[in-house]
Amino acid sequence: MDSDKSASQPLRVKVISMGNPKVGKSCVIKRYCEKRFITKYLATIGIDYGVTKVTVQDREVRVNIFDMAGHPIFYQVRNEFYNETNGILLVYDVTDRNSFGALQEWLDEMKNEMGNPSDMSNGVFIVCANKIDKKREVEELEGRLWAETKGFLYFETSAQSGQGITDMFETLFREMVNVLENGPQPLVTPENTSGLSMGYTKEQIEAIHRLKYCKNSFEKLGLKVGATRDEVNKAYRRLAVLLHPDKSIAPGSEDAFKILVKVRSTLLNIAF
Ligand code: GTP
Ligand code: MG
């Protein structure tokens, strides 16, 4: 960054938090801004507003944070605040599958309320999978896949322990400054890319997800139940190349590869 810019006025950016009640939006923000964690649940009433100042590559940035209430009764209050937002924290609770499923509804609400829905493409979206210190209902891979297929960034956090929090906010600030200075970055979606920015592809993530979560062995390989021996072998070879841990850096590749080997031998031994 050049010295002219560093000497200029601070940049002003606006961040909002969205997500179901009790997922930890306020705690995630408090953990970053105040370095503390509140155990007692104090529901946000309408909106909480705060300011924090940060430096991004020599540039002073004034971050206005609007922490939204998750409860539906506050819809009328929060719908005023969606416009002209630079950063969006979409928070869910990994111990509560409903809160993960609700993310799409939060996006829809935002889209409906924005004067100009195309402004959505100027925002940096971060999916925040919170409460990773507890026993989860939603695995990392599932959350990551959802986020990345939408072109959003994905972070796992615990407001309780602080894990992932600083990394997430610093990335958000960096990306917002990047968009303000260089214009919106193209969205990485399944429609416009076959490869993701982090060095692995949607195809790899989907294959890992299938291997880990499909119940039926044929379906784990992406095949119809009762596929032929030849089809099993072909699918095995294709997936082995796709997911070999020496080649794939997609999270979960190693486990998925082990499952792949096991599934193949199970199918070839019992099904033919
Ligand atoms: P609303 O304001 O009602 O929309 O809720 P919110 O999303 O802001 O939730 P809040 O931050 O108030 O946290 C809800 C509850 O979850 C509180 O009791 C917090 O102590 C707890 N909590 C938040 N984050 C974490 C976390 O990372 N781990 C654990 N174990 N508990 C958390
Ligand atoms: Mg709150």
CB 30 near ligand 1, within 6 Å: no
Ligand 2 centroid, distance to 149 Cα (angstroms): 27
* CB-based burial label for 234 (10 Å; 0-12, 13-18, 19+): middle
The closest-lying atom of ligand 1 relative to the alpha carbon of residue 31 is 24
Which whole-number Å values give the CA distances from 150 to 66, 196, 223, in the listed order? Answer: 23, 11, 26
pLDDT, tens digit, 9 for 90 and up, residues 217-256:
999 999 999 999 999 999 999 999 899 988 888 888 899 9
CB 23 near ligand 1, within 6 Å: yes
Equal CATH topology for 2-188 and 198-271: no
Structure tokens at 81: 């605040």
Ligand 2 centroid, distance to 161 Cα (angstroms): 18
Contact (Cβ atoms closer than 8 angstroms) between residue 150 and residue 114: no
The closest-lying atom of ligand 1 relative to the alpha carbon of residue 134 is 30
| Closest residue by CA, ligand 1 atom 20 | 39
Of 271, 269, 270, 241, the closest CA to residue 257 belongs to: 241
pLDDT, tens digit, 9 for 90 and up, residues 215-226:
899 999 999 999
CB 75 near ligand 1, within 6 Å: no
Task: Give the angle 151-88-132 at the CA atoms, nearest 5°.
Answer: 80
3-state secondary structure of 48: strand
| Helix boundaries (H) for the chain | 3-7, 25-34, 75-78, 97-101, 103-113, 140-149, 165-182, 202-213, 217-220, 229-243, 253-270
| Closest residue by CA, ligand 1 atom 28 | 131
Contact (Cβ atoms closer than 8 angstroms) between residue 132 and residue 94: yes
Question: What's the full length of the chain, in residues?
Answer: 272
Q: Is the dihedral of CA 263, 264, 265, 266 positive or negative?
A: positive
d(CA 61, CA 5) in angstroms, rounded, equals: 12
Q: Which CATH architecture has domain 198-271?
A: Orthogonal Bundle (1.10)
Whose atoms come closest to the Cα of 50: which ligand? 2
Beta strands 59-68 and 11-18 are parallel
Contact (Cβ atoms closer than 8 angstroms) between residue 20 and residue 94: no
pLDDT beyond 50 at 47: yes
Among residues of the chain, what percentage have pLDDT more than 70?
90
CB 24 near ligand 1, within 6 Å: yes
Ligand 1 centroid, distance to 18 Cα (angstroms): 13
Ligand 1 centroid, distance to 271 Cα (angstroms): 49
pLDDT, tens digit, 9 for 90 and up, residues 112-164:
888 776 677 789 999 999 999 999 999 888 898 888 888 889 999 999 999 99
Query: For residue 191, what pLDDT is reported?
Result: 40
Please tell me the CATH superfamily of domain 2-188, with its number.
P-loop containing nucleotide triphosphate hydrolases (3.40.50.300)
Contact (Cβ atoms closer than 8 angstroms) between residue 56 and residue 101: no
Query: For residue 198, what pLDDT is reported?
Result: 62
113 Cβ neighbours under 8 A, 6+ residues apart: 79, 82, 83
| Closest residue by CA, ligand 1 atom 18 | 41
Q: How many C-beta neighbours within 10 Å does residue 87 have?
A: 21
Would the pTM count as exceeding 0.80? no
What residue segments make up the domains of the chain, in order of their start?
A: 2-188, 198-271
CB 130 near ligand 1, within 6 Å: yes
pLDDT, tens digit, 9 for 90 and up, residues 99-119:
999 999 999 999 888 877 667
pLDDT grade, residue 270 (50/70/90)?
Answer: low
d(CA 239, CA 71) in angstroms, rounded, equals: 43
pLDDT, tens digit, 9 for 90 and up, residues 177-211:
988 888 776 544 444 444 455 678 888 888 998 99
CB 136 near ligand 1, within 6 Å: no
pLDDT beyond 70 at 55: yes
Ligand 2 centroid, distance to 48 Cα (angstroms): 8
Beta strands 47-56 and 59-68 are antiparallel
Whose atoms come closest to the Cα of 158: which ligand? 1
d(CA 93, CA 70) in angstroms, rounded, equals: 12
Whose atoms come closest to the Cα of 42: which ligand? 1
